[in-house]
């Protein structure tokens, strides 16, 4: 009987070498774009937090500050017509997938011109036309839905692929097992990306999951699995790229665990009682944006001045989007029933 | 369980039966099939047999009671059986809750709760929505219905229909000093029916629509047919010169309108005149009750008001004591609420004299059918300029023809003429009214 | 259409025919569910379809109801028209999150910029001796969720016409098939036709009492009405056909006419659709015509028992409908 082992998506030996290679093979504009998106995510979330403090954002929000490399590194691999489905901590994916920042901020503010016309809010942003098939607020719920999306792609003989994001909290749901098994038996064009930010609300992944690392779960579904440094945008890029190629080539799904950390609480009501300030500080030292900037300068891909300009541009983009979003009209509560069903 | 004795349906078109007499007494033993009581239908007296063997108990029907078919009128108790929870007989309005309770022997099987449930609290009526709607339309006061045919005396639509059919004979206005009471309904004359008998051949023509006679229309049909064929009508007519009423109306119009927000209608002035004159003509403000005539102190003036599909008669109570201004205001309110169907049943029943006006349709004159149990009705035609002789000249004057129908059983022609003449004089010199 | 030329087929065949004809018409329509391929479905509804449409469009799935529902939802989001089969309606509980939190919500939550055209076929109901976990009627849960439509056909003609409409509808539609109806026969045209959702059918006219029913209770109500007719009671039987959207106009018109209404369903009484129907009548203009209290005749508040006698006693039977309608029709008359 064959020994069952975890097959990596990409040979770990090539990752370190590949990182340097990427800095030279990827066009400069692409690298600049990646940095800009990471900065926009960071500034967007900081701005959203500020607006929340000022009472302008209703409800709650789940910030992904510290996890920018995971979303940008994955989505940077995609063709514009490829698709994503993601989760409640999904601002990063949305921005990386090319969302209009104004429409996104308008949704946070509950405005009629927001992506979901103020019906969804921060937790449910979708940009269907842009290939972002939406964030679900119920942990793990997007994973079975992802199977269906990928099934449609396969049945239509499409060359598009789907990235399905979820967190470490989702891997213990029955839906996760059902969906990964189904995607594997049908060899669907999907990459499952588990963003392990180490806590499912307060529950540590290291104690809540029976097996570590989480990518080992891939063995059970006979698909390649790999854990990557989720704070290294170029490492995420390399592994996801290999998984996307595999999916596009009809070889079926892969499982990528991006190991990262959220700096902020689970949501706005989190008092951070389950972890130490020292731990948070330690991870802040591994800031994915600072790391990327450093790597870019060291490799001579971008100059410090260029990086500063990109950073300033990102900040300005967020300021402008916020200003414009604040000016949008409020939705009307009339006739909402008519929107529930499609004609 | 005790066997119910019910008012049986012995005739196809029978809704109610008149109870004649018990052939056995409370507490007697009867054998199944033995003659038990007698019922009068519009055809004959019929003996009804006992439906079971046992002891008679809870007999509640009394001679001359008009009882809806299937209504329980007593029980036959087998060995070990007791009376079920009380259900008051629906007889006439005179049977009060207390009297109904007395009529039934108390049974040890009944609990206090059952007793409480069996009767609605004072002022509260247990009735279905359909019964309430119909009662409102027909002007039936549900608090006057002792118990319906539903569980625990709940009043159903059929109860209201039965009651409404009998309203023709029940004068509602109370006589001062005398408690409210109802009178036994008159026995309709044999053969009188608002509906043509089935043997009448229908025309051989293409049908456009078939409308079932039901609800208020059916009641009106029954009442009018009853009135037309039981009360011999005589009809008197007179032309009234309305010059002075018109002048009076012009003079006071602005003042009234400022004060009340209402215009003075001709109907209001005529109503005021009728109310002023009527107390001097008591037989025209009266009700026939069997072999006696009740002459009313109060003038409860009914004003026939046409709705889309039927008539209602809102009532101005004690009109003889009301000023023109009060009548204007009250009439405007009643008519408005009649049109929007917001009148309460009490506001649509109990008139002692009725005025009906078709002048606004340009009708010169017409005769009206008396609204039973009243003895007279006044029909008002249009006011139009007509040539009349005046001090040797022919002048155009606003003339109105009024036509009085009276029940000749009670009112003779001369009695009616005296009223009509005084009314004419009053309208031609309306300043007497103020 | 002359009666004589319409052939009679079973309810089961009518469901299958709707699936086949819609799959031939629209390549986006496909089936997925447990054992629907070579096995032909637990009740044989999809028997023979694998041969015509192949394993991609008649797709056997693992026993993973949540993933089946998710796969249908995702495919529908992409513009496919999946028809998923839940082997027994009871198992829909496992798929509940996908149906309620995903399929039903996506359209509204995303500001109307997506739609989920999918059908959930669910064999439901008792009478087969399969006991508590294979006999439930769970329609009330779904009627309660904005974003899902619920259809419960009672006759073969409707099974075909309503399923065609459900497949073409741009929303998640729960399609309840009663297991006892599968073998009932009725006239069904061979050609493709559709019946609009939200239209009840007056199966029998009467003026004494209205019986509101759906699914298997419709033939039972009709049989009861025939018996009542011999006693001089004429019941009007309204087949709701679609539970959501509900044809309130037909219900209100019928109850306004008869003044009495008996609501019959198999699902347990407490929290069942009957409560909603009661409210619909009570809040409508029919209220003023009610001449007796609104009555519900529903399944007892118990899990469906196994024993044949107990099972029968758990849900309304013809004789129960006769007794309840008779009592209601006579009350206060």
Q: What is the pLDDT of residues B192-204, one digit of tens each?
A: 455 555 556 778 7
| CA nearest to A85, candidates A135, A46, A36 | A135
Q: B touches A (3+ CB pairs < 8 Å)?
A: no
**Least confident span in A107-111, A112-116, B27-31, B368-372:** B27-31
**In the numeric block, which tokens belong to residue B47?**
């003996």
Domain ranges across chain B: 3-119, 234-433
| B150 interfaces chain C, CB cutoff of 8 Å | yes
Measure C64 CA to nearest chain A CA, in Å.
6
H or E, element range at B137: helix B129-138
Asked if the bond preceding A12 is cis, omega within 30° of 0, the reply is no
Nearest to B156 among C287, C288, C291 (CB): C291
**Is B131's Cβ below 8 Å from some Cβ in C?**
yes
Has residue B166 got a pLDDT over 80?
no
Helical spans, DSSP H, in B323-367: 324-339
**Buried/exposed code over B159-195 (b: 16+ C-beta within 10 A; e: otherwise):** bbbbbbbbbbbbbbbeeeeeeeebbbbbebeeeeebe
Is pLDDT of A287 > 90? yes
- pLDDT at residue A269, as a whole number: 78
Domains parsed from chain A with CATH numbers? 12-327 (3.40.50.970)
User: Interface partners of A (3+ CB pairs, < 8 Å)?
Assistant: C
CA distances from C305 to B117, C57, C312 (A): 38, 37, 9
Cβ pair B130:C289 closer than 8 A: yes
Q: Indicate yes or no: CB of B158 within 8 angstroms of CB of C333.
A: yes
- Judged by DSSP in three states, C274 sits in helix
Is pLDDT at B95 greater than 60 in this prediction?
no
| Residues of chain B contacting residue C291, judged by C-beta atoms under 8 Å apart | 128-131, 156-158
Inform me whether the pLDDT recorded for B107 exceeds 50: no
Chain C residues with CB under 8 Å of B158 CB are: 291, 332-333
Sort out which chain C residues have CB atoms less than 8 A from A137's CB and list them. Answer: 101
Q: Do C107 and A339 touch (CB under 8 A)?
A: yes
Whether B contacts C, i.e. 3 or more CB pairs less than 8 A apart, is yes
Cα separation, C131 vs C151, in Å, equals 24
**C7-187 has CATH 3.40.50.970 classification:** yes
Q: Which two three-digit tokens encode residue A113?
A: 């011109």
Question: Who among A85, A119, A144 is closest to C98 (CB)?
Answer: A144
pLDDT at B431: 84
Q: Do B150 and C290 touch (CB under 8 A)?
A: no
What pLDDT does B261 receive?
86
Mutate to test the interface with A, among C74, C95, C142 (most CBs of A within 10 A): C74
Give the pLDDT of residue B123: 55
What is the C-alpha separation between B69 and C94, in angstroms, rounded? Answer: 59
Architecture of domain B3-119: Beta Barrel (2.40)
* B148 Cβ under 8 Å from any chain C Cβ: yes
For A151, the closest chain C residue by CA position comes to C75
pLDDT in tens, C1-20: 555 678 999 999 999 999 99
- Chain B closest-CA separation from residue C325 CA (Å): 15
Domain range list for chain C: 7-187, 201-330
Task: Enter the DSSP assignment of B2.
Answer: P
Q: What is the DSSP string of C11-53?
A: HHHHHHHHHHHHHHH-TTEEEEETT-SSS--TTSTTTTHHHHH
Question: Of C13, C34, C65, C85, which residue is the catalytic one?
Answer: C65
Out of A115, A153, A178, closest to residue C64 by CB:
A178
Tokens found for residue A226: 């790999």
Handedness of CA B80, B84, B86, B89 (dihedral sign): negative
Tens digit of each residue's pLDDT (9 = 90 or more) over C170-223: 999 999 999 999 999 999 999 999 999 999 999 999 999 999 999 999 999 999
Q: Is C290 on the interface with B (CB under 8 A)?
A: yes
Nearest to C237 by CA among C252, C256, C224: C224
Cα B114–chain centre separation: 34
Chain segment B275-317, per-residue pLDDT in tens: 999 999 999 999 888 778 889 999 999 999 887 777 788 999 9
Question: Is the sign of the CA dihedral A262, A265, A266, A272 positive or negative?
Answer: positive
What is the predicted pLDDT for the residue at A1? 61
Domain spanning B234-433: which superfamily? Chloramphenicol acetyltransferase-like domain (3.30.559.10)
Which residues in chain A touch residue C148, judged by CB atoms under 8 angstroms apart? none
Enumerate the active-site residues of B: 408, 412
Q: What average pLDDT score do residues B104-112 get?
A: 39
Q: Is C65 a residue of the active site? A: yes
Chain C interface test: which of A108, A136, A144, A154 (most C C-beta within 10 Å): A144
Q: How far is A289 from chain C (nearest CA, A)?
A: 30
Q: Which helix (H) or strand (E) holds B221?
A: helix B215-230
User: Does the structure show a pLDDT above 50 at A72?
Assistant: yes
Given the residues C22, C34, C85, C134, select the one marked as catalytic: C134
Contact B151 C331 (CB under 8 A): yes
Q: Is the distance from CB of A180 to CB of A164 less than 8 angstroms?
A: no
Chain C residues with CB under 8 Å of B149 CB are: 332-333
Q: Of residues B178 and C268, which shows the higher confidence score?
A: C268
Beta strand B35-40 with B16-22: parallel, antiparallel or unpaired? antiparallel
Comparing A254-258, B288-292, C291-295, which segment has the lowest mean pLDDT? B288-292
pLDDT number for residue B43: 56
Whether the pLDDT of residue B175 is over 90: the answer is: no
The domains spanning B3-119 and B234-433 adopt the same CATH topology: no
Confidence (pLDDT) at B13? 64
- Which fold, C201-330? Rossmann fold (3.40.50)
Q: What is the pLDDT, as a whole number, of residue B289?
A: 81
- CA dist B84 and A90 (Å) reads 72
- Name the closest residue on chain C to residue B133, using Cα atoms: C288
Rounded to a whole number of angstroms, the distance from the CA of A165 to the nearest CA of chain C is: 14
| Residues β-bridged to residue B288 | B293
Q: What residues contact residue B360 under an 8 Å CB cut-off, 6+ apart?
A: B382
Within 10 A of B232 (CB to CB), how many other CB atoms are there? 10
């Amino acid at each position: 009987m064959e020994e069952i082992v975890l097959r990596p998506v990409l040979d770990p030996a090539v990752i370190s070498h590949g990182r340097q290679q990427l800095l030279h093979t990827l066009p400069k504009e692409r690298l600049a774009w990646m940095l800009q998106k990471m900065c926009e995510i960071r500034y967007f979330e900081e701005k959203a937090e500020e607006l929340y403090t000022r009472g302008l954002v209703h409800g709650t929000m789940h910030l992904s500050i510290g996890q920018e490399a995971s979303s940008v590194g994955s989505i940077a691999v995609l063709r514009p017509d490829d698709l994503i489905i993601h989760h409640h901590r999904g601002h990063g994916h949305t921005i990386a997938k090319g969302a209009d920042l104004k429409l996104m901020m308008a949704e946070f503010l509950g405005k009629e011109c927001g992506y979901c016309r103020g019906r969804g809010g921060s937790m449910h942003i979708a940009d269907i036309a842009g290939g972002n098939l939406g964030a679900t607020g119920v942990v793990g719920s997007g994973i079975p839905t992802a199977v269906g999306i990928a099934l449609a792609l396969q049945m239509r003989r499409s060359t598009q692929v789907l990235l399905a994001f979820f967190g470490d909290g989702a891997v213990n749901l029955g839906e996760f097992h059902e969906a990964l098994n189904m995607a594997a038996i049908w060899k669907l064009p999907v990459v499952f990306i588990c963003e392990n930010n180490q806590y499912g609300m307060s529950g540590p992944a290291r104690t809540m999951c029976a097996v570590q690392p989480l990518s080992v779960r891939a063995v059970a579904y006979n698909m390649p699995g790999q854990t990557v440094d989720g704070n290294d945008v170029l490492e995420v890029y390399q592994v996801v790229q290999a998984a996307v190629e595999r999916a596009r080539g009809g070889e079926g799904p892969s499982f990528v665990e991006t190991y990262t950390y959220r700096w902020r609480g689970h949501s706005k009501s989190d008092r951070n009682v389950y972890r130490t300030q020292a731990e948070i500080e330690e991870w802040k030292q591994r800031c994915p944006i600072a790391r990327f900037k450093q790597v870019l300068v060291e490799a001579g891909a971008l100059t410090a001045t260029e990086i500063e300009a990109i950073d300033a541009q990102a900040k300005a983009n967020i300021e402008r989007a916020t200003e414009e979003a604040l000016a949008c009209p409020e939705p009307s509560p009339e006739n909402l029933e008519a929107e529930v069903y499609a004609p | 369980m005790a066997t119910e004795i019910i008012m049986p349906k012995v005739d196809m078109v029978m809704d109610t039966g008149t109870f004649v007499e018990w052939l056995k007494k409370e507490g007697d033993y009867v054998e199944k099939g033995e003659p038990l009581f007698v019922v009068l239908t519009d055809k004959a007296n019929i003996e009804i047999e006992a439906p079971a063997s046992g002891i008679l108990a809870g007999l509640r029907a009394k001679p001359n009671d008009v009882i809806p078919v299937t209504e329980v009128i007593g029980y036959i108790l087998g060995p070990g059986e007791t009376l079920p929870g009380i259900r008051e007989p629906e007889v006439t309005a005179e049977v009060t809750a207390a009297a109904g309770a007395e009529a039934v022997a108390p049974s040890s099987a009944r609990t206090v709760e059952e007793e409480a449930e069996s009767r609605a609290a004072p002022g509260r009526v247990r009735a279905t929505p359909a019964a309430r709607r119909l009662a409102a339309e027909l002007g039936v006061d549900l608090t006057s219905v002792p118990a319906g045919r539903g569980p625990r005396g709940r009043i159903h639509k059929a109860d209201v229909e039965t009651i409404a059919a009998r309203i023709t004979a029940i004068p509602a206005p109370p006589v001062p000093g005398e408690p409210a009471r109802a009178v036994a309904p008159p026995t309709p004359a044999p053969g009188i029916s608002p509906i043509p008998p089935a043997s009448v051949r229908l025309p051989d023509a293409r049908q456009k629509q078939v409308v079932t006679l039901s609800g208020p229309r059916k009641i009106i049909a029954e009442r009018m047919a009853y009135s037309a064929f039981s009360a011999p009508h005589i009809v008197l007519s007179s032309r009234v010169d309305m010059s002075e009423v018109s002048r009076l109306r012009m003079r006071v119009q602005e003042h009234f309108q400022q004060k009340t927000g209402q215009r003075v209608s001709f109907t209001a002035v005529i109503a005021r005149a009728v109310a002023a004159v009527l107390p001097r003509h008591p037989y025209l403000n009266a009700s026939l009750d069997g072999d006696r005539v009740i002459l009313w102190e109060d003038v409860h003036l009914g004003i026939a008001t046409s709705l889309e599909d039927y008539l209602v008669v809102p009532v101005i109570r004690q009109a003889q004591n009301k000023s023109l201004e009060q009548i204007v205001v009250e009439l405007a309110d009643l008519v408005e609420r009649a049109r929007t169907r917001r009148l309460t049943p009490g506001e649509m029943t109990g008139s002692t004299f009725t005025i009906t006006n078709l002048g606004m349709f340009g009708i010169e004159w017409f005769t009206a059918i008396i609204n039973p149990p009243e003895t007279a009705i006044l029909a008002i035609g249009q006011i139009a300029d007509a040539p009349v002789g005046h001090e040797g000249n022919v002048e155009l004057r606003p003339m109105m023809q009024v036509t009085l129908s009276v029940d000749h059983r009670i009112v003779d022609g001369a009695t009616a003429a005296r009223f009509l003449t005084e009314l004419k004089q009053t309208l031609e010199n309306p300043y007497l009214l103020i | 259409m002359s009666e004589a030329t319409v052939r009679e087929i079973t309810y089961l065949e009518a469901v299958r025919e709707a699936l086949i004809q819609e799959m031939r018409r629209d390549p986006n329509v496909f089936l997925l569910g447990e054992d629907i391929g070579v096995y032909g479905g637990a009740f044989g509804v999809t028997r023979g379809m694998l041969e015509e449409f192949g394993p991609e469009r008649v797709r056997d799935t693992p026993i993973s109801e949540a993933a089946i529902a998710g796969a249908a939802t995702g495919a529908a989001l992409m513009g496919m028209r999946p028809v998923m089969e839940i082997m027994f309606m009871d198992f829909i509980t496992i798929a509940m999150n996908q149906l309620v939190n995903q399929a039903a919500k996506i359209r509204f939550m995303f500001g109307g910029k997506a739609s989920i055209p999918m059908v959930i076929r669910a064999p439901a109901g008792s009478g087969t001796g399969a006991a508590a976990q294979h006999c439930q009627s769970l329609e009330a849960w779904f009627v309660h969720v904005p974003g899902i439509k619920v259809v419960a056909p009672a006759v073969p003609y409707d099974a075909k016409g309503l399923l065609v409409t459900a497949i073409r509808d741009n929303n998640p539609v729960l399609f309840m098939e009663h297991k006892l109806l599968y073998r009932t026969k009725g006239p069904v045209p061979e050609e493709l036709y559709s019946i609009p959702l939200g239209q009840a059918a007056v199966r029998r006219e009467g003026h004494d009492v209205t019986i509101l029913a759906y699914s298997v209770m419709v033939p039972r109500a009709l049989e009861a009405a025939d018996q009542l007719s011999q006693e001089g009671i004429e019941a009007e039987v309204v087949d709701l056909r679609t539970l959501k959207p509900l044809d309130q106009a037909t219900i209100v018109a019928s109850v306004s006419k008869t003044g009495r209404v008996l609501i019959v369903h198999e699902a347990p009484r407490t929290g069942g659709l009957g409560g909603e129907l009661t409210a619909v009548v009570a809040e409508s203009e029919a209220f003023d015509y009610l001449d007796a209290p609104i009555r519900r005749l529903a399944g007892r508040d118990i899990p469906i028992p196994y024993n044949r006698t107990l099972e029968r006693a758990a849900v309304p039977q013809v004789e129960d409908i006769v007794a309840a309608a008779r009592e209601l029709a006579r009350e206060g008359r």
